[in-house]
Amino acid sequence: MSLSHGRPYLAIPGPSVMPEEVLRAMHRSAPNIYEGQIVDMTATIVADLRRVARTKGDVAIYISNGHGLWEASLANVLAPGDAVLVPVTGRFGHGWAAQAGRMGAEVRLVDFGKQQAIDPARVAEALKADTEHRIKAVLAVHVDTSTGIRNDVAALRRALDETGHPALLMMDAIASLGCDRIEMDAWGVDVLLAASQKGLMTPPGIGFLWVSEKAQAVRDGIEVTSPYWDWAPRLHPEGYYQHFCGTAPTHHLYGLRAALDMILTEGLENVWNRHEVLARAIWAAAQRWGADGPLTVNAPEGVRSHAVTALRLGGDMADRLRTWTDTCGGVTLGIGLGMAEPGDVDFGGFFRIGHMGHVNAHMVLGALSVIEAGMTACEIPHGDGAVAEAARICAGA
């Protein structure tokens, strides 16, 4: 017998749960893509994307996932042979760095491992050593979805300013926009990347680059840029089609409009606070489970994401737990992406909980209850009182 029949809960760190309002907005006939409602609506989306990123900068919209955004960000600011500095705290930092390398950049990697945040002092040392200013950009992932580490991007801006280095500061906020606090202008970010499928609660398929005037000036000096990834016509389109280098992603835009309405009606500060409380509830439960068992939170206190939590059980326990919660409890947990390689002893030892976007107390408390039931069913040692402690945190919000 399985108890999974009923509405399933996808608790992976993206694609996140899509609200009914978003799905209803998308369930419609195709619009005219040359004039009228879709054109007028896109103008409101651009304005509200600025509000969500806390910036006055221009925003380019791409029909793309996050990997496409990495390429778009690099294609507009780098010439072959330029150097990039990439401080890494997980799989996705390595991915962005690898893409830069394949596009002809010299990659200077500073790897902080999988259990600590970026140290701005080490970044400053690398910047000081670059006396010829060959480094054109610092590529920083705000929240690495694989490790659950949240990095201090404002501190990276201070490192750039204090060393007098002219490099652009580029920030991957794909996992964090709409979940963790982001202040693009206040933090001095030149290029910010985000996609639709996580905190923005819209199906995968569209992505965004917010671009400072400094970054636009760098683009103006690049001799050759990919026609599709070029952000110049997208930022300042002469015709509607130039927003998207062709046909607009019409139904994604309808869904995104509904998602932005939900975020702004709740209030961005309230959205951030909700994510913080629900994240603390998960961490508190993990602490109770780990008091009498092997479970640990990967990210240290103080640098944990409010959008995703990576946890370690060791051996094959996480795989067995994920199988039980999915097939018997109706909750799908995230795999331990990038935490170990196939063949390693702990390849099946990690799992992740996504708590991003359209998520509330009953979803989180329900998922935690199913996880605890799964640990009991799989005979995984764990401490008591985890769900009660999580409920106490939610009650005190």
Which residues participate in the annotated binding site for substrate? 352
**Cβ contacts of residue 49 below 8 Å, gap of 6+?**
59, 208, 210, 260
Candidates 233, 231, 260; CA nearest to 46 is 260
Binding residues: 352
| Phi, then psi, of 12 in degrees rounded to 5 | -90, 160
Candidates 337, 384, 330; CA nearest to 5 is 330
Six-digit token pair at 62?
């791409």
Q: Is residue 145 within 8 Å of residue 299, measured between CB atoms?
A: no
The Cα 103–Cα 98 span in angstroms is 9
Q: How many CA atoms lie within 13 A of 72 on its CB side?
A: 36
Residue by residue, what is the 3-state secondary structure of the chain?
Answer: CCCCCCCCEEECCCCCCCCHHHHHHHCCCCCCCCCCHHHHHHHHHHHHHHHHHCCCCEEEEEECCHHHHHHHHHHCCCCCCCEEEEEECCHHHHHHHHHHHHCCCEEEEEECCCCCCCCHHHHHHHHHHCCCCCEEEEEEECEECCCCEECCHHHHHHHHHHHCCCCEEEEECCCCCCCCCCCHHHHCCCEEEEECCCCCCCCCCEEEEEECHHHHHHHHCCCCCCCCCCCHHHHCCCCHHHHCCCCCCHHHHHHHHHHHHHHHHHCHHHHHHHHHHHHHHHHHHHHHHHCCCCCEECCCCCCECCCEEEEECCCCHHHHHHHHHHHCCCEEEEECCCCCCCCCCCCCCEEEEECCCCCCHHHHHHHHHHHHHHHHHCCCCCCCCHHHHHHHHHHCC
Provide the residue type at 127 as one letter: L
